Amino acid sequence: MASLRAKIRHVIGDQRIIRVQRFVAPAARRNLSLLARVYDTDKQRGHGYTTLYERHLAAFRDRPVNLLEIGIGGYDSVTWGGSSLRTWRDYFQFGEIHGLDIAEKRIDEPRIHVHRGDQSDQVYLRELGRRHGPFDVVIDDGSHVNAHIRTSFEALFVDHVRPSGFYVIEDMSTAYLDEYGGGPPGHPGTSMRLVQDLCDDVNRRHWAGPAGRAARPVRAVHVYEKIAFVQRGDVEVCAVPAIQ
């Protein structure tokens, strides 16, 4: 199916397809799943994530959201990719949408800003956050390499995500795949181990010992099949005595 889509795209041309999508998209703007189908992003077609995105992000829909997505896609052409960026641009009608990719991408459209960089480079990510953040939403749909996921999270979450904003990690099944630096459940250094630690951070402030102060300001963690939504809280300033 993917190869058939590629053949059709090469025959019709990238820009013609995008123009048709943008013509149809306004009718679907209030329904994220339908909008994702218009732009042919795998957030709906391949994974069915859009229902979960609507559950957690619908409150942001009419706000001037600042969103960063890691991973643009469309690697057989510098002018292709960005399906989910267009989806977010239309869903968040007042938002500014940033896309980061290690490959060169040429997407020149209103309210979409493309950055070329490596998600495993913390120095680059922190500078990106300083220049274009803070972000209300960060989505990691990049390499899916577990070390890269953790590096990106540590670089962006605390300093460059607004309180009450969300950091989303997609395709977390790679936590169990050797080729992505994963392993069996409990394997160290994976995205799933990161999420498990973040669950501790939600309530760590209630422990009166040396670890009573939360390392990261996490308000909530929502985990589903292959995807996790981490909501940022306010920075903790002191430990709270444990309840006896």
* 241 lies in some domain: no
DSSP per-residue codes, 86-109: HHHHHHSTT-EEEEEESS------
Question: What CATH number is given to the structural domain containing 210?
Answer: 3.40.50.150
Active-site residue, 98 included? no
The count of structural domains within the chain is 1
* 107 lies in some domain: yes
> What are the φ/ψ torsions at residue 215 (nearest 5 degrees)?
-65, -30
Q: The whole model's pTM is what?
A: 0.89
In this structure, which amino acid lies at residue 240? V
Calculated CA dihedral for residues 108, 142, 160, 121, nearest 10 degrees: -100
pLDDT number for residue 161: 98
Per-residue pLDDT reduced to its tens digit, 181-195: 999 999 999 999 999
* 227 lies in some domain: yes
Active-site residue (options: 98, 132, 144, 148)? 144
The span from the CA of 209 to the CA of 218, in Å, is: 19
The span from the CA of 18 to the CA of 80, in Å, is: 9
* 237 lies in some domain: no
* 242 lies in some domain: no
* 96 lies in some domain: yes
Which domain covers residue 109, as residue numbers? 2-232
Q: Is the pLDDT of residue 5 over 80?
A: no
